[in-house]
């Protein structure tokens, strides 16, 4: 993290349901010289919102950035009950490795939604906004300031399912949208400067294996050990998906593409709608895999830049390097 004021520095506000991949994304941003972590906002999702706050504090403690402003956000969706992913991230959101809780040293007296509005209005086009969890905080902030997203230099969402897939292809889970489809509808239909979707269809193929974990252990640093420990916990879950101890880097990829957009090798533009097939709810670019419009009437929405492919080798090399903390 840098404290310099430079046109080359990204001043990033992160909204996160701080599970394992969120924590890795935060630590990655903290370790980049071209990033200032301006504020971190918590929301439910991977874990309870109270645990999300604790996990933010734990990451900031590892990074030596205790002064970063933290806010507590929504504990559940606008409609319905939260779906907490403790089966993936553990009861505490970070693999249940630590017994001692920690608290942020710079906790905001206002909510995540209120702080979003305050930051955006105080310095329009200064901050970038990275959204790593359910979009509830942002939807609540839009109730206060409907032009909220236009106040941020860019907005990157880790979530959505991208375009509709080719025939016969299984669609990926879109957990952040599934947790609050009403919030997602409001966000994807809101005016903005630039909105980028980094969908699970892209992140699921961005994989760290056991060799990467061993590289982190060999670094012999606080950063490397922390990252390796929580990645190993993530692999405890994902090994039953692929039969190997590997882990996708969902949120880390979204964080990296915010600061390294040149790693986006293929993308497309178009409106995004929230759809359901009766089993799952997803945020989709309303376009079939062949590029043609979908076969039903869609809701109007501004264009979103939807990432289709990335330079995985460059990202993963840099990701492990930064998390090694050398």
Across 144-245, the runs of DSSP E, i.e. the strands, are: 154-158, 195-198, 207-208
CA angle 316, 178, 113 (to 5 degrees): 85
Kindly state the DSSP code that residue 92 receives in the 8-state scheme. T
For residue 83, report the phi and psi dihedrals to the nearest 5 degrees.
-110, 100
Among residues 21, 38, 19, which one has the least CA distance to residue 106? 38
Query: In this predicted structure, what is the pLDDT of residue 4?
Result: 47
User: What is the C-alpha separation between 303 and 236, in angstroms, rounded?
Assistant: 38
What is the mean pLDDT for each group of 10 consecutive residues in the chain (326 residues)?
65 98 98 98 98 98 97 97 94 94 96 98 98 98 98 97 86 88 97 96 95 96 97 95 94 98 97 90 91 91 97 98 94
Among residues 247, 105, 124, 250, which one has the least CA distance to residue 176? 250
**Torsion region of 159: left, alpha or beta (phi above 0 gives left; psi -120 to 50 gives alpha):** left
Provide the CA 265 distance to its chain's centre, in angstroms: 20
Query: In this predicted structure, what is the pLDDT of residue 3?
Result: 46
Q: What is the rounded (10 degree) CA torsion for 49, 172, 197, 19?
A: 20
Query: In this predicted structure, what is the pLDDT of residue 172?
Result: 76
Kindly state the DSSP code that residue 46 receives in the 8-state scheme. S
Query: In this predicted structure, what is the pLDDT of residue 7?
Result: 65
Query: In this predicted structure, what is the pLDDT of residue 6?
Result: 61
Core vs surface per residue 268-277: b (16+ CB within 10 A) or e:
eebbbbbbee
β-pair partners for 286: none
Q: Which two tokens stand for residue 72?
A: 């507590």
Domains with residue ranges and CATH for the chain = 10-323 (3.90.245.10)
């Amino acid at each position: 993290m840098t404290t310099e004021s430079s046109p080359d520095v990204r001043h990033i506000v992160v909204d996160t349901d701080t599970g394992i991949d969120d924590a890795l994304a935060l630590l990655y941003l903290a370790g980049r010289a071209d990033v200032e972590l301006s504020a971190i906002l918590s929301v439910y999702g991977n874990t309870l919102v109270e645990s999300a706050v604790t996990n933010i504090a734990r990451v900031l403690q590892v990074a030596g950035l205790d002064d970063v402003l933290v806010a507590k956000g929504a504990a559940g969706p606008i409609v319905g009950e939260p779906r907490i992913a403790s089966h993936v991230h553990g009861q505490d959101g970070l693999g249940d490795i630590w017994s001692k809780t920690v608290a942020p040293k710079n906790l905001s007296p206002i909510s995540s939604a209120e702080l979003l509005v305050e930051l955006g209005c105080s310095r329009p086009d200064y901050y970038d906004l990275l959204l790593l969890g359910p979009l509830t905080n942002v939807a609540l902030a839009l109730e206060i300031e409907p032009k909220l997203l236009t106040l941020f230099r860019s907005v990157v969402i880790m979530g959505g399912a991208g375009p509709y897939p080719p025939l016969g292809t299984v669609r990926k889970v879109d957990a952040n949208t599934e947790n609050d489809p009403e919030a997602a509808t409001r966000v994807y239909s809101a005016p903005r400067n630039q909105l980028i979707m980094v969908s699970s269809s892209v992140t699921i193929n961005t994989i760290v294996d056991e060799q990467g974990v061993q590289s982190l252990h060999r670094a012999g640093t606080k950063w490397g050990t922390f990252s390796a420990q929580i990645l190993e916990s993530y692999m405890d879950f994902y090994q039953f998906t692929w039969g190997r101890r590997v882990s996708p880097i969902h949120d880390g990829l979204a964080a990296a593409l915010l600061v390294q957009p040149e790693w986006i090798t293929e993308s497309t533009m178009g409106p995004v709608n929230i759809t359901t097939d009766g089993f799952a709810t997803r945020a989709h670019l309303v376009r079939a895999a062949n590029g043609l419009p979908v076969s039903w009437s869609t809701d109007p929405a501004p264009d979103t830049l939807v990432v289709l492919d990335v330079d995985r080798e460059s990202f993963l090399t840099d990701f492990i390097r930064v998390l090694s903390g050398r």
